[in-house]
Chains A and B, each alone.
Chain A
Amino acid sequence: MIDKFRAKFVEESMDNLHDLEEALFLLEKDMENKELIERIFRAMHSLKGGGAMFGFNHLSDFTHHLETIFDWVRNGKLKVSTDLISLTFSAIDQINFLLKTGDLSKEEDIQNQKVFIQRIQAFLTVTNSPSDAASVNTASDQEAGESEEKSYLISFIPQKELLQNGTNPLYLLDDIHALGDALSIAYTHKVPSLEVLDASANYCIWQVLVSTAESINEIKDVFIFVEDECELHVDLIAETAIVGQPEVKALVSKALSSNILLTPDDFKKGQWAPKSQQPAVRDEKKKVAVKEHKISSMRVSSHKIDELVTLVSELVTIQAQLSLYAENNEDPTIVSLTENIQKLSRQLRENAFDISLIPLQSELMRFQRLVRDLSKDQNKDIDFIIEGGDLELDKNIIENLTDPLLHILRNSIDHGIELPDERIAAGKAPKGTILFKAFHSGANVIIEISDDGKGIDPEVILQKAIHKGLVEADVQLDKKEILDLLFVSGFSTRDVVSDVSGRGVGMDVVRRKIANIRGEVTIESEKGKGTLISIRLPLTLSIIDGLLVAVGSNQYVIPISAIDKIYALEPSQLKQSFNNVVVIDSEQYPYIDLRKVFQEEEKESAEVIQMIMVKAEDKITGVIVDNVIGEYQTVVKPLGKYLKKQEIISGASIMGDGTIAMVIDTSRLLHNRKLKK
Chain B
Amino acid sequence: MLAEIKKQFYNDTLRELEGINGKLSAEELPVNEHAVIAEKIFTISHQISGTGPMLGFNSSSVLSRKLEKTFYHIRSGEREITPQLLWQTKRAIEAIIKAISEENSQKEF
Q: Footprint of B on A, CB under 8 Å?
A: 164-168, 171, 175, 214, 217-218, 221-222, 224-225, 228, 293-297, 347, 351, 354, 359, 388, 390-391
Contacts and interface: CB of A to CB of B under 8 A. Distances in A.
Contacts of A296: 25-27
Nearest to A390: B30
B96 interface: yes
A297 B84 CA distance: 18
A165 B61 CA distance: 10
Contacts of B82: 217-218, 221
Interface in B49-103: 59, 62-63, 66-67, 70, 82, 84-85, 87-89, 91-92, 95-96, 98-99
B27 A166 contact: no
Most A Cβ at <10 Å: residue of B32, B33, B99: B32
B99 A166 contact: yes
Contact of A165 (B26, B27, B62, B89): B62
B85 A221 contact: yes
A166 B26 contact: no
11 contacts: A165-B66, A166-B59, A171-B91, A175-B87, A218-B84, A222-B88, A225-B67, A225-B89, A295-B27, A296-B25, A390-B30
A224 B88 contact: yes
B96 A297 contact: no
Contact of B33 (A221, A293, A390): A390
A228 B27 contact: no
A222 B98 contact: no
Contacts of A359: 30
A94 B91 CA distance: 47
B95 A166 contact: yes
A165 B33 contact: no
B32 A166 contact: no
Contacts of A225: 66-67, 70, 88-89, 91-92
B23 to A, nearest CB: 9
A221 B88 contact: yes
B49 to A, nearest CB: 13
Contacts of A354: 22
A221 B91 CA distance: 12
B15 interface: yes
Main secondary structure of the interface of B (DSSP, over half): helix
A347 B16 CA distance: 11
B62 A224 contact: no
Contacts of A297: 26-27
Contacts of A221: 82, 84-85, 88
Bin chain B's interface residue count: 20 to 34
A359 B82 CA distance: 22
Contacts of B67: 225
Nearest to A359: B30
B92 A222 contact: no
Given A221-B84, A225-B70, A388 B63 contact: no
Nearest to A387: B32
B94 to A, nearest CB: 9
A222 B84 contact: yes
A228 B27 CA distance: 29
Contacts of A217: 82
A214 B83 CA distance: 11
Contacts of A391: 32
A167 B98 CA distance: 11
A390 to B, nearest CB: 4
Given A296-B25, A297-B26, A224 B70 contact: yes
Contact of B63 (A166, A222, A224, A347): A166
B88 A165 contact: no
Contacts of A167: 95
Given A166-B99, A224-B85, A294 B27 contact: yes
A297 B26 CA distance: 7
Contacts of A171: 91
Nearest to A179: B84
Given A221-B82, A390-B32, A347 B88 contact: no
In order of increasing CB-CB distance, the 4 nearest A-B pairs are: A166-B95, A390-B30, A221-B84, A225-B66
A294 B83 CA distance: 11
A635 B69 CA distance: 42
Most A Cβ at <10 Å: residue of B22, B25, B26, B87: B87
Contacts of B33: 390
Contacts of B59: 164-166
Most A Cβ at <10 Å: residue of B67, B70, B82, B96: B82
Nearest to A223: B88
A379 B27 CA distance: 41
A354 B19 CA distance: 11
Contacts of B66: 165, 225, 228
A501 B92 CA distance: 55
Contacts of A347: 15
Contacts of B70: 224-225
A295 to B, nearest CB: 8
Most B Cβ at <10 Å: residue of A221, A228, A351: A221
Contacts of B88: 175, 221-222, 224-225
Given A165-B62, A293-B87, A388-B32, 14 more contacts: A165-B59, A165-B63, A165-B66, A166-B92, A171-B91, A175-B87, A217-B82, A221-B84, A224-B70, A224-B85, A225-B89, A297-B26, A297-B27, A390-B30
B38 to A, nearest CB: 13
Contacts of B84: 175, 214, 218, 221-222
Contacts of B25: 296
A172 to B, nearest CB: 8
A306 B73 CA distance: 42
Contact of B96 (A166, A224, A351): A166
A225 B64 CA distance: 10
Contacts of B92: 166, 225
Contacts of A175: 84, 87-88
Nearest to B91: A171
A168 B88 CA distance: 11
Contacts of B31: 390
A294 B59 CA distance: 30
Nearest to B24: A296
Contacts of B15: 347
A136 B99 CA distance: 56
